[in-house]
Amino acid sequence: MKNKKTDKRRVVVTGLGVVSSIGIGFEEFWKNLILGKSGISKIEAFDTSEYPIHMGGEVKNLVIDKFIDKRILSHFGRTSRFAVTAAKIAIQSANLNKNDLGLSSVLLGTTLGESSIIEEMNAILAKNDHQGIIVEKIPMYPSNNISLNVALEFKSKSYNFMFPTACAAGNYSIGYAYDLIAYENAQVVLAGGAEAFSRTAFTGFNRLYAMASEKCQPFDKNRKGMMLGEGAGVLVLESLEHAQKRSAKIYAEVLGYGLSCDAHHMTQPSEEGIAKCIEKAIKESGILKEDVDYISAHGTGTPQNDKAECAAFRKVFGEKAKTIPTSSIKSMLGHTMGAASAIEAVACCLSIRDNILPPTINFETADEDCDVDCVPNKSRRVKNVKIVLNNASAFGGNNACVIFKSFEL
């Protein structure tokens, strides 16, 4: 959708919202993140007794009626509840008024949408209890309802779109939001991703033998796999002019993004595809490779992903890849799939704000194939975090990278 306009507008982040297993709201989330707190616990969302894995990054402390009217809660699936809550927190932090919200767009990403709705129906049908189906729940299943519910909650009347690009979907939504503001006429966009625990995803990753039983250890030589997580992350993006006009607080600037769909393999990541994506983001952002101060890695903790991602970093940055701080917050949250890169984008903005790098916890043994500075086990305060690269990949070779910068006039 990009055109060749020369009057590209600057895009800034003015609001942050998070629902996660380590905190509701971006300040609580950030406090626990830099403390290295793990959100992994025994799963209660569904029965895991027949599975070999029983742990995950489940959201257990969300008092939902603080954020959503009880009268409409029954119309929202769990993923929509996360998305609306994160959006409400982001909007509050941005101090948007009703007129701004009415003109805003809503762009979100997910992997499986409201899969728990269809799973509930399947369980009923498996018992041959056709009368037990609650027909009112059927329209709640399509994933586009997630962004629709956010738009309806805030009476947003502009663009409304749902990206189904799985674990890179949050970055896809931020990239599209960037385009709408930089090249089109959008002034305010809510962008992010949301995902709730899914028995379908849990079963699939178990069958792929891609999950660790107790902890996620990105970049560790003895890493066993990912942990499944859930949550939502939403950012308020605005044109600089609009943000300045209303004297909004600016957390960071979005410089640009890169995408690649390498279609290398259904599940195995491609070093080449990831590298091309990062290089596109750097080129569009108009920065030098040497300018990157911190990388928020995809870092799932699976043997193949971490190896391929680190190889891609070496391909792009050369020897400097060993010295750029590169951490994975999935070590604390688990893999929140469609919400992952959106939540990580929030962490990137807060790293810029506070000049603190979140750690990769559970790191024990260095791996020659993952020779990056993973900020092991403890957060790191640094002099200046100016440019941050947020990297994400997904099954099927969907890669997305967004670059944030500290705001300067």
Q: Which residues are catalytic?
A: 167, 298, 335
Torsion angle (degrees, nearest 10) of CA 279, 285, 289, 291: -160
Rounded Cα distance, 12 and 174, in Å: 11
Is residue 231 within 8 Å of 195, Cβ to Cβ? yes
Torsion angle (degrees, nearest 10) of CA 325, 334, 361, 290: 0
Measured CA distances, 24 to 16, 85, 134, 217, 365 (Å): 11, 9, 31, 24, 32
Count Cβ atoms below 10 Å from residue 138 Cβ, excluding itself: 12
Angle between helices 144-154 and 78-94 (to 10 degrees): 40
CA 27 to chain centre: 17
CA atoms in the 13 A half-sphere facing the CB of 85: 29
Rounded Cα distance, 101 and 323, in Å: 42
Q: How many residues does the chain have?
A: 409
Rounded Cα distance, 361 and 345, in Å: 19
Count Cβ atoms below 10 Å from residue 208 Cβ, excluding itself: 13
Rounded Cα distance, 29 and 18, in Å: 7
Give me the phi and psi of 267, to 5 degrees please.
-125, -25
> Looking at the DSSP assignment, which residues form a beta bridge with residue 228?
335
Beta strands of 196-345 (E only): which ranges? 231-239, 252-261, 294-296, 326-327
φ/ψ region of 123 (left if φ > 0, alpha if ψ in -120 to 50, else beta) reads: alpha
